[in-house]
Every structure is written in structure tokens, then in C-alpha cells.
Amino acid sequence: MALFFSSGGGRLGNQILNLIHLIAISLEYNIEIIKINDPFLIADDGSIMFKVHEKKTTWFLDNRPSSKKIFNNLFLKVFIRLIHLFFYFVPNFRSYKIGSKKNYPKLILAKNLGTNFSLTKLRRESEKYNVVLCGWGLRDWDMVLKHKATINKILISGFREFIEYDNFQLNNYLFVHIRRGDFSKVDAFKDLNYEDEVWLKSIKKICYEKKISKVVIFSDSILSKFFVSSLESKGLEVILPEINYEKTNFLKLFFTYLYRGSFILCNSSSLVLSIAFLKHENIFLPSKENGYEEVLLDKAHNTYPTSLNWN
């Protein structure tokens, strides 16, 4: 018997976060956990699901453009609904949803466990039945931190081609990820959205205190000329990889610069937190009052505002 995890929703950062907890659960309980492919994390043998109970990588990162994954993603949506349908009606199988209703994939036939489900009960059921589970919130941070070294070893192996980018020579720099997008559109994330002057204040203060002269910036919105010139006027070298290396695969650029950065400044992007978790002990968040706020990654799930999307 096994525990199948079908879908937790979200983009790559959320998919990695789900995988982190699935690996922790498999290591702690020594049970077979099978993950149905996500849009980004897929089985390395070409199948539609992979095992996470072994202490090795059984998946890889599908970094093809979204336009080339349309059929694959559509197939996954249909398959997930069909497997829940099958598990719901067949004896000795179980189909469950967890988390808040707004985070459930739509049109899933499953028993609603809500947010107060018991991970221990799910484990016991997976020893008697084949259980399929979907939703946001399969979390046990104590378990993750207990097995952090092994989890990171597995993840680093899976992301090796993205964090060991050829001919990468930059060192001693501040990595900055400015995420706006849905942070500026969703009320729940308003405390994660900062104005340009707050970002500038944070970058300058960190660089001054940490004696950093290079700043690598990724942003999902166009940076103004003033933003860049304001940093350069302080003697900082500003590097914009998406512009300077526009023909290079984005994820390779992003992962490599992030993983190798001396310090990280972000507004709680789950993708930044997921990759930073592999190597760094802390990150910095912009702060209107103090310039920046230092957050320990081992406590980020309980620290506001990182807890908004890292839990």
C-alpha cells in the first residue's frame, strides 16, 4: 500500500515546498510515497509519477517553456481527477482533500479532511489502503528540520544542472528578487509588496553593512532607470541577468545566482525560499522601518510575513 500525493497547486516554488515535506514524511515513517507529476517536477523515467521514499532523486525539473507543455499539463489535470475518482469508489482505496477549500483543485471527488487532518492517521491508513491526497497544507516542519541534511542532499542532486552553471565566476554579491505580480493583486499578500524606495533603502543598507559591491537583481516588473542609477550612484555594480543573458535558460540563471549568492533579499517568494533552504541559513526582507529584517530559514514558517506563503 502507498500514499499518493496528486496535486498541491501553485507554481514551481510551491511544488518544491510540497516535495520537501513529502521527502521528510517518507524518511520519518519509511513508507512508500508516490508523487504524481507536477507541471515542473516530473519522473526521471518518463512515467507520470515518481517515488519519493528512496534516499535519492527520482525526478527532474522540466524547464521547457509553458507553450511546449500545454498538452502535458492538460493531461495531468485530467489524470489527477480520474485517479481521485477511481480511489473514491474502489474498495481498499481512499481519496482525500486537505487544507482550506479555496486551495483545493476543482472538480476533485474526495473526502474533505479540511485543515485539521491527522498526518499520523494518514500514515496508518496508507499501510492498509492505497490513499490519494490533494490540497495545500501537507506540512510538518519539525520533521523537515529533523531530516534537513538528507532532504537538501536529495534536492541538490535533482537541481545540480541548474546550480552548477558552466563558467559561472561571480562571487560575493547580494541576490535580490523583487516579486510583485500577485503580491500586488491579492489582499492577503499586501504586506509582501514594497515600493521602490523601500527596496532601494534595503539594498543600500545591506551592501554597506556587509561590504558588498555587487547586486544581482531579478524582478517580475520592469525596473526604472532611476532604480538602477540610484544604486550605481552609491558605487554598486548592478547586474540584471535576464537582460544581460536573455538567450540563456531563465531557471538556470535564477537558480545559479540565487544558490551562490552571499546574501539574499526577497519578499518571501516561495521559489527563493525553496532554493535558499538548500544552502543558506537566513534571508533578508525589506523593511520600511529598519531597512531590512533578517529571517532564519529554519523559522521562516513561523515568522511573519514569510509565513504567509511558506507554510
Instruction: Tell whether the model's pLDDT for residue 175 goes beyond 90.
Output: yes
Round to whole Å and give the CA distance between 124 and 226: 58
Contact 71, 125 (CB under 8 A): no
Q: Which of 130, 158, 186 is the last residue of a domain?
A: 158
46 plus 152 within the same structural domain: yes
Specify the pTM: 0.93
Q: Which of 112, 130, 158 is the last residue of a domain?
A: 158
Instruction: Work out whether the CA dihedral 142, 143, 148, 152 comes out positive or negative.
Output: negative
Instruction: Tell whether the model's pLDDT for residue 172 goes beyond 70.
Output: yes
Q: What angle do CA 230, 231, 235 make, to 5 degrees?
A: 115
9 plus 150 within the same structural domain: yes
pLDDT at 248: 75
Higher pLDDT pick, 185 / 310: 310
The distance from CA 39 to its chain's CA centroid, rounded to whole angstroms, is 13
49 plus 135 within the same structural domain: yes
> How many structural domains comprise the chain?
2
Cβ–Cβ contacts within 10 Å for residue 198, how many? 17
The predicted model gives 219-228 an average pLDDT of: 91
Q: Which of 111, 134, 158 is the last residue of a domain?
A: 158
Distances (CA, A) of 148 to 37, 58, 104, 264: 23, 18, 28, 20
pLDDT at 147: 96
Query: Binning pLDDT at 50, 70 and 90, where does residue 139 land?
Result: very high
Amino acid at 78: V
pLDDT at 177: 96
The pLDDT > 90 percentage for the chain reads 69
128 plus 258 within the same structural domain: no
Higher pLDDT pick, 59 / 9: 59
Which residue reads 523537515 in cell numbers?
A: 144
Amino acid at 284: F
- What is the domain-level CATH number for residue 180? 3.40.50
115 plus 256 within the same structural domain: no
The predicted model gives 275-280 an average pLDDT of: 95
81 plus 148 within the same structural domain: yes
Contact 84, 110 (CB under 8 A): yes
Give me the domain span that covers residue 235.
167-308
Specify burial of residue 157 (Cβ count, 10 A radius: 0-12, 13-18, 19+): exposed
148 plus 202 within the same structural domain: no
The predicted model gives 55-76 an average pLDDT of: 89
In the predicted model, what is the mean pLDDT of the chain?
Answer: 91
Higher pLDDT pick, 186 / 163: 163
Query: Binning pLDDT at 50, 70 and 90, where does residue 54 land?
Result: confident
198 plus 294 within the same structural domain: yes
Which residue reads 561571480 in cell numbers?
A: 170
The distance from CA 281 to its chain's CA centroid, rounded to whole angstroms, is 16
The predicted model gives 79-104 an average pLDDT of: 91
* Exposure string for 25-46, b = 16+ CB within 10 A, e = fewer: bbbbbebbbbbbbbbbbbbeee
69 plus 142 within the same structural domain: yes
Most confident among 30-34, 162-166, 246-250 (mean pLDDT): 30-34
Query: Binning pLDDT at 50, 70 and 90, where does residue 104 land?
Result: low
What sections of 30-96 are H helices per DSSP? 70-89
150 plus 247 within the same structural domain: no
Round to whole Å and give the CA distance between 157 and 83: 30
Contact 230, 196 (CB under 8 A): no
C-alpha cell at 207: 551592501
211 plus 304 within the same structural domain: yes
The predicted model gives 125-140 an average pLDDT of: 93
Walk across the sheet containing 237-239 and list its strands. 237-239, 214-219, 174-178, 263-266, 282-287, 291-296
148 plus 53 within the same structural domain: yes
* Exposure string for 67-106, b = 16+ CB within 10 A, e = fewer: eebeeeeeebeeebbebbbebbeeeebbbbbbbeeebbbe
Least confident segment among 100-104, 231-235, 253-257, 303-307: 100-104
